[in-house]
Amino acid sequence: MKVLPFQIPKPTKDALIYQEDHEYIFYDKFHQHQEIQLSYILEGEGTLIIGDTISNYKKGDVLAIGSNLPHVFKSEPNSDVKSHMLSLFFTKDGFGDVFFELEELSEVASFFNRVENGFKVLSNTRQLEQAFVSLKSKSKLERFVTFLQILKIVSKAKKQALSSFVYEKNYSADEGKRMQDVMSYTMNHYDQNISLDSISEVASMTKNAFCKYFKKRTNKTYVQFLNELRIENASKLLLNKKELSVSEIAYQCGFGNLSNFNRQFKLVKGTTPSIFRKTL
């Protein structure tokens, strides 16, 4: 199986794939696939990278990921609770070239307009939870009907975009392997000192070539990406580890000094770490 891109395993004639992931760690490889992905997080939390944007996912989230949009779910490490995700995979033309152009399906047209950049559903999540949980015991026909109901609910729900930039070209196998290596190394070592020289070696490129390569594919510099990843992890610690001081969290997340941490945190979150912790 290629790391990036990779194929969703499915029977030849199936246009809709239901998948249940019940693991301590989700598939944590930076990857893309042709199928649109609609997922409900039944259990678990962690870091989510979609396109150029780093955020978090948690229990109860409903997420939509567009066709060939690179993404990775990084489960919270050392958790004693298995993560549990229910997903539907499909393509817009998988049911026929004009199926979703039918007047009867005009209510779900907005879904396909928004899904290219990925989004998180912010309302109607209780209805969606019930629909996703019911999928396992349904026949293929019943599952298809429920899928259309899910699309209708999601289309009418409030949404939050998950990526602001989508690289126009699909990754080749070699490019995918390179970006996967970079993402994996960064996610596993963000709390340590990562220089441009060291990450360029991971990518098997010169520093200048790597900087241009990464910026072209993510619309941000590697240093920006690294800082955002550190800030997202710091945000979780600020909320969940009250016993840790702001300075302890800064050093645990890879920042060499407190002033730089405060500056970068405000740049990403729009507020200081202390106010962020008190507010939320």
| Residue-by-residue DSSP string for 151-176 | HHHHHHS-EEES-S---SSPPPHHHH
Domain range for 78 is 17-161
Q: Which residue from 67, 66, 79, 56 is spatially nearest to 34, judged by alpha carbons? A: 67
Q: Do residues 91 and 203 both lie within one domain? A: no
Domain annotation covers residue 230? yes
Can you give the pLDDT at residue 169?
60
Amino acid identity for residue 118 in this structure: G
Domain annotation covers residue 178? no
Q: What tokens were used for 110?
A: 């907005």
Q: Do residues 206 and 264 both lie within one domain? A: yes
Q: What tokens were used for 275?
A: 């106010």
What average pLDDT does range 47-61 have in this prediction? Answer: 88
CA quadruple 237, 123, 161, 104: dihedral, nearest 10: 160
Q: Do residues 132 and 203 both lie within one domain? A: no
Question: Which phi and psi angles does 125 have, rounded to 5°?
Answer: -70, -25
Q: Do residues 153 and 22 both lie within one domain? A: yes
**At 28, which CATH number?**
2.60.120.280
pTM, whole model, 2 decimals?
Answer: 0.77
Residue 276 has pLDDT above 90, yes or no: yes
Can you give the pLDDT at residue 174?
76
Q: Do residues 27 and 154 both lie within one domain? A: yes
Phi-psi label, residue 20: left if phi above 0, alpha if psi -120 to 50, beta otherwise: beta
**At 273, which CATH number?**
1.10.10.60
Q: Which helix (H) or strand (E) holds 267?
A: helix 258-269
Domain annotation covers residue 5? no
What average pLDDT does range 131-143 have in this prediction? Answer: 95
Domain count, the chain: 2
Helix (H, G, I), strand (E, B) or coil at 38: strand
Q: Identify which has the larger pLDDT, 140 or 24.
A: 140
Q: What is the pLDDT of residues 190-233, one digit of tens each?
A: 999 999 999 999 999 999 999 999 998 888 899 999 999 999 99
Domain annotation covers residue 10? no
Question: Residue 7 — pLDDT band, cuts 50, 70, 90?
Answer: very low
Q: Do residues 156 and 22 both lie within one domain? A: yes
